[in-house]
Amino acid sequence: MRMVFRWFGEGNDTVSLDQIKQIPGVEGIVWSLHHVPAGEEWPMEDILAVREQADRAGFHLDVVESVNVHEDIKLGLPSRERYIENYKRTIEKLSRVGVKVICYNFMPVFDWLRTDLRKPMADGSTALFYENSLIADVDPFELVKRIQENSELSMPGWEPERLAHLAELFEAYRGVTAEDMWRNLEHFLNEIVPVAARCGIRMAIHPDDPPWPVFGLPRIITNAASLRRLLSLHDDPANGITLCSGSLGASPDNDIVSMIREFADRIPFAHIRNVRVYENGDFIETSHRTQDGTVDIAGIVEAYREIGFRGYVRPDHGRHLWGEQCRPGYGLYDRALGIMYLWGLWDAYSRGSQPIVK
């Protein structure tokens, strides 16, 4: 298991590379060019600027999260070909600075979705929260209208300046089915996986978060069956998975331990975090510790240990602790604690078979 840490870039992250350097066992940063809009080709000079910052701090840049996929690709519009060409050129450029894994997702309109970014927890920290009733069966067009009429009402991702754009996107997805999305994903993979393979890069799809349809939008990467289907669309090691325990874990039906065993050699990148799922379908992000949530983190690390996992791992969203002001889910403290928990489990499971190398 090779530990990496997500970093949003100079001036774009409250956590510094110097701070990350002090977390035991972190060897690389998980990065992206967050200022480049989805669909655009990444400028080489911007890539090289990150390369230089990482070099100075002594981190590798093996994992990119994410090169985002333009909505026209997910929608299957004729204009997608231009964006796919840009994507291919970005893959080629990334290979030139040694990138090994590109994480991406195929979620329509939204990436991860929550209803409260700072829900107070009993211990005085705050965390990302998902309240099912605010999203299930909600008509998105109604919601746009309600927010426009009531300035008090808001929701993460539904900021007033984004509403018009959101309404347009919802319109574009009207009538788009899950099967349409699968066809569009297949077309995308057929185009880019051979390029990635040639460049020595493994593509790693991130599951949908939460793993079910939201606001009537189809979501297709949600469970073992869909991951199986994804892998079979293009049966090549360069077509892989970012196995995110927190995204998949929001659905208690998902058995992540068995997914690790089944998809072992197709998981170049793992996100490990915990969530507590309630009976009504709400969930809150907790510390990484197994007992604090409903995801079997100890079992997950044990499974990675058993398959001899050599891929990249990062802790994922954490709570906001000790008054830290940071990007939602991306503070320093809880993710650093998470890493130490993961190392603790890993080393303990390793000890049975071989001594820990000093």
C-beta pairs of 293-299 under 8 Å, 24+ apart in sequence: 293/249, 294/249, 294/252, 295/245, 295/246, 295/249, 295/256, 296/256, 296/257, 297/245, 297/272, 297/273, 297/341, 297/342, 297/345, 298/345, 299/257
> What is the C-alpha separation between 70 and 112, in angstroms, rounded?
16
Question: By CB under 6 A, is residue 65 in contact with ligand DNO?
Answer: yes
Tokens (6 digits) for 71: 């909505």
12 contributes a contact to ligand DNO by CB under 6 A: no
Strand order from edge to edge, sheet including 275-277: 116-120, 126-130, 283-285, 275-277
CB closer to ligand DNO out of 103 and 321:
103
Distance CA 320, CA 317 (A): 9
Q: Is the dihedral of CA 7, 256, 70, 237 positive or negative?
A: positive
Check if 341 is active-site. Answer: no
The single-letter code of the amino acid at 37 is P
CB of 307 to ligand DNO, least distance (A): 22
The yes-or-no answer on residue 206 being catalytic is yes
Rounded least distance, CB 71 to ligand DNO, Å: 14
Query: Which residue do the tokens 């030139």 mark?
Result: 96
Q: Does 114 bind ligand DNO (CB under 6 A)?
A: no
Distance, in Å, from the CA atom of 202 to the CA atom of 266, rounded to the nearest integer, reads 9
Q: Is 13 a catalytic residue?
A: no
Residue 206 makes contact with ligand DNO by CB under 6 A: yes
Query: Residues 307 to 326: which contact ligand DNO by CB under 6 A?
Result: 316-317
244 included as an active-site residue:
yes
Q: Does 245 bind ligand DNO (CB under 6 A)?
A: no
Q: How far apart are the first and last CA of the chain?
A: 16
Q: Where does this chain touch ligand DNO (CB under 6 A) — which range of 8-16, 105-113, 114-122, 340-348?
A: 105-113
Would you say the C-alpha torsion 39, 43, 47, 50 has a positive or negative sign?
Answer: negative
Would you call 60 a catalytic residue per the annotation? no
- Least Å distance, CB 342 to ligand DNO, is 16
Site for ligand DNO in 247-276 (CB under 6 A): 271
Identify which of residues 108 and 329 has a Cβ nearer to ligand DNO in the complex.
Answer: 329
159 binds ligand DNO (CB under 6 A): no
Binding of ligand DNO at residue 188 (CB under 6 A)? no
Q: What is the DSSP letter of 37?
A: P
- How is residue 33 annotated by DSSP? -
Which residue, 139 or 201, is less far from ligand DNO as judged by CB? 201
Q: Which of 60, 70, 234, 271 is catalytic?
A: 271
Cα 328 to chain center, whole Å? 14
87 is an active site residue: no
Binding test (CB under 6 A) with ligand DNO, winner from 86, 90, 105, 286: 105
Is position 130 an interface residue for ligand DNO (rule: CB under 6 A)?
no
Amino acid at position 65, single letter:
E
Contact between 66 and ligand DNO by CB under 6 A: the answer reads yes
Least distance CB 149 / ligand DNO (angstroms): 30
Q: Which of 83, 317, 320, 341 is flagged as catalytic?
A: 317
Which residue is catalytic, options 62, 70, 199, 244?
A: 244
| Positions in the binding site for ligand DNO (CB under 6 A) | 65-66, 103-105, 111-112, 206, 244, 271, 316-317, 329
Residues catalogued as catalytic:
206, 244, 271, 316-317, 330
